Chains A and B, each alone.
Chain A
Amino acid sequence: MIDTNTKRLALFNFWIAFGSFALACVFGIYQVLERSGLFSFIQSPAVYFASVSTHGVLMAFVLTTFFIMGFGYYTATTSLKMPIWNPLLAWSGYAICLTGVVLAAIPLLLGKASVLYTFYPPIQANAFFYIGATLLVVGSWFWTVIMIVMFGKWKKNHPGETVPLPMFATTANAYLWAWTSVGVALEAVFQLLPWSLGLRDTIDVGLARTLFAWTLHPIVYFWLIPAYIALYSYVPIAAGGKLFSEKLARVAFLLILVFGLPIGFHHLYMDPEQGTIAKFWHMVGTFAVALPTLLTGFTVIASLEMAGRKRGGKGLFGWIGALPWQNTMVLAAILSLLMLVLGGFGGIVNASYAMNAMVHNTAWVPGHFHLIFAGTVVTMYLALAYHLWPKLSGKKLFSNDLALTQLWTWFIGMVIMTTPWHVLGLLGQPRRISAVQYNSLLTLAWQPYELLMIIGGFVLLGSACLFVYILFKTQTEGTLEPQTDEPNIQGEAVVSLWLNNFVPWNLLILGLMMLSYGWPILQFFVLKTYNPTAWGY
């Protein structure tokens, strides 16, 4: 049974995560309306770019970081059956993160940090924005340390035993985050902060972009791993079966950890400051990291098939119908995997080296990451919330039917919204414009898609409101219900040493990172660069 402290810690993290999520959805609806150009009275680049910056920060940094921390604490205590190591440290980390969010939110909402969540020097934001973002990262490192220590402590107390899969994956994520965040931390501490505080006049934009790319790709795996934990650990059981192969699951998490890191340059394919050799090498890595996702698809679908057949499903596809579609976790998994397949195809196009030129920075790109992140990842976060809320609050979920409606509408809204973006991207519409001002016949081809986008946006906003309503009702009016423990998701056999510790993998990552980022970063110190001063916007 999980202790009160962990429950409170998890809930406090989740409320910030999902509160930010709901707020960001409101910004989102404003953005689709503004961008459509159909309502001239709300058009304003100043408000739009402030809104896009806030939406991005809330969704990509706040929702994710707080959710992952809360879920990590929950997973650690339930799967290791031990209390949080050093709760004071956990709460301090939480406080630092929250302070960071508040500090960053003030300039963001005042329009003093409209630099988008990717920072984009030499456009300069108010220093508090960078300080806030840095604190959010620093606070999350407390969580990272706690996860790694708990993993180590458990192993010490259980010599020769296998760490349960959810905790193994969570620890992999903690290591992943430690490696991932170094890039942006270096950029913040050595470039953005001194520059925005006036201690330094200029900023090396090429270096800043390289360091940000270091973080920008693996961070999506940091977001994705909790969704995969749910797919591997909760979904097979919810479907009435069991995980097809625990070993393969561990291999998948390790592959993500190792190959997710040294591949950030697919964000810089179109940049002048990196060479073809580095870009090609990162492209190979980007394709390699498709492997664990293909493995996950296979293993999860196989687990679902086993469950479906156990429930009496027959024939090639009969097992699909036999699945418990009324179960939020199972439904979310199915919808999530569907979006992963669609988004994955788009991702292969983005990753395809020179072909990226056709879609780089077009509406195709937000189409892709909304499918993968807001679709695949967030859908699993939502399902996890429905799964965890009763366990954390001790109350019965307010309404299973409403929760199912919510998941369906989220999926439908996301498909309606992202399909036009993909088409618009192929038609060349840039992603970050607040209005279409080009006097070109091409823009006529864009118009019909704007309306679809708005419909999708409204469905999503409605769905997000419903989600918050369900959680709120559960917490305030839910009937008390005794909660069961998480079932033991412990592997049947003792797995090999390779799949039960991280030392060799971290060494491998170190080598790969040196190979991938050594010269690309060093060149900025060896070769002469001309660095620009700060610009407003």
Chain B
Amino acid sequence: MKGILLAAICCLFNEAVMAEPSSLVAWTPDTLNRLKKGNAEHGKELSGTCAGCHNETNANPQLDGQLPTYIYKQLVDYKNGNRKDPTTAMNGLASTLSDQDMTDVSAWYGQQAPIQGKGGGNDTTGIVFKGDGKRMEPSCSSCHGYSGQGEKVDTPRLAGQKADYLEKTLLAYKSGVRGNDIYSRMRLIASKLSDQEIKQLADYYSKLD
């Protein structure tokens, strides 16, 4: 009896301190369908604001050709505070967008031709295709694809992305500053990479065409 009571109290307590999920986005058929029907024309209008910061001159990620599912999830996470922009700019911007806005702007960027890397990249870590069983580290390509093209659900395109941004992101996952990956999957992966390897991987993917 005492045990059950204890368990009940424990449960209540647990409920109370239950942490926020790392993302409120769920890839239900509804969400995926809504994204398929995004209004790219409306997204184009909205994208004017984005282009101010997301361009060639800085370390902000480039968005052209990124998968709509990924962009949408980041916007929702920014809006809900699951992903925190150190400058808070993205959190502020996302909070002004409706769900439809986020869907549309994702659709617009998804339709753009991705910027190609310069080529000549070489994976010096061995992690891109083989991973490292000793560290329980799956290969990057097993989720992000053999040419870094991403996967329609939950996995961004990496090919041609800015090296600085990729490095910054992996370091943020490693330190836990970024934590909107469901079930900590990227945090666990990044935590096992050395800073040197992160640099090498960022370089490799930025050059992929």
Contacts and interface: CB of A to CB of B under 8 A. Distances in A.
Q: Do A and B bind?
A: yes
Interface of A: 43-46, 201-202, 436-439, 531, 533, 535-536
A437 B27 contact: no
B146 A46 contact: yes
Interface of B: 27, 29, 32-33, 129-131, 133-136, 142, 146, 151-153
B153 A438 contact: no
Contacts of B33: 201
B133 A43 contact: no
16 contacts: A43-B130, A201-B32, A201-B33, A436-B133, A438-B133, A439-B133, A439-B136, A531-B29, A533-B27, A533-B29, A533-B32, A533-B153, A535-B151, A535-B153, A536-B151, A536-B152
Given A44-B129, A439-B133, A536-B152, 15 more contacts: A43-B130, A45-B142, A46-B146, A201-B29, A201-B32, A201-B33, A436-B133, A437-B131, A438-B133, A439-B134, A439-B135, A531-B29, A533-B32, A535-B151, A535-B153
A45 B32 CA distance: 28
A536 B151 CA distance: 7
A437 B133 contact: yes
B27 to A, nearest CB: 7
Contacts of B146: 46
A202 B29 contact: yes
Contacts of A44: 129
Nearest to B130: A43
The main secondary structure of chain A at its interface with chain B is loop
A438 B149 CA distance: 27
A60 B191 CA distance: 44
B180 to A, nearest CB: 21
Contacts of A536: 151-152
A436 B152 CA distance: 28
Contacts of B151: 535-536
A390 B134 CA distance: 57
A44 B139 CA distance: 11
A194 to B, nearest CB: 14
Nearest to B146: A46
A436 B135 CA distance: 13
A33 to B, nearest CB: 17
**A-B CB proximity, top 4 nearest:** A437-B133, A201-B29, A439-B134, A536-B151
A533 B32 CA distance: 9
Contacts of B133: 436-439
A358 to B, nearest CB: 24
A233 B136 CA distance: 56
A416 to B, nearest CB: 28
B133 to A, nearest CB: 3
Nearest to B29: A201
B192 to A, nearest CB: 12
A45 B129 CA distance: 9
A40 to B, nearest CB: 8
Nearest to B154: A535
B127 to A, nearest CB: 12
Q: Which of B29, B151, B152 has the most CB of A within 10 A?
A: B29
A505 to B, nearest CB: 44
Nearest to A531: B29
Contacts of B136: 439
Nearest to B28: A533
A202 B27 CA distance: 12
B79 to A, nearest CB: 24
B32 to A, nearest CB: 6
Nearest to A534: B152
B147 to A, nearest CB: 11
Contacts of A437: 131, 133
A202 B153 CA distance: 14
Contacts of A45: 142
Contacts of B134: 439
Contacts of B152: 536
Q: Which of A45, A436, A531 has the most CB of B within 10 A?
A: A45
A436 B151 CA distance: 25
Nearest to B33: A201
Nearest to B31: A533
A438 B131 CA distance: 11
Contacts of A46: 146
A439 B134 CA distance: 5
A108 to B, nearest CB: 17
Nearest to A438: B133
Contacts of B153: 533, 535
Contacts of A535: 151, 153
Nearest to B129: A44
B145 to A, nearest CB: 8
A167 to B, nearest CB: 51
B69 to A, nearest CB: 11
A536 B141 CA distance: 13
B11 to A, nearest CB: 25
A533 B135 CA distance: 31
A221 to B, nearest CB: 38
A201 B32 CA distance: 9
A120 B136 CA distance: 25
A536 B133 CA distance: 23
A436 B133 CA distance: 8
B83 to A, nearest CB: 24
A49 to B, nearest CB: 11
Nearest to A43: B130
A201 B151 CA distance: 17
Contacts of A531: 29
A533 B34 CA distance: 14
A43 B136 CA distance: 18
A437 B139 CA distance: 11
Nearest to B32: A533
A47 B7 CA distance: 51
Contacts of B32: 201, 533
A202 B29 CA distance: 7
B195 to A, nearest CB: 22
B138 to A, nearest CB: 8
A536 B67 CA distance: 14
B4 to A, nearest CB: 28
Nearest to B136: A439
A439 B131 CA distance: 12
A536 B154 CA distance: 11
A327 B136 CA distance: 55
Nearest to A200: B29
Nearest to B27: A533
Contacts of B130: 43
Contacts of A436: 133
Nearest to B139: A45
B142 to A, nearest CB: 7
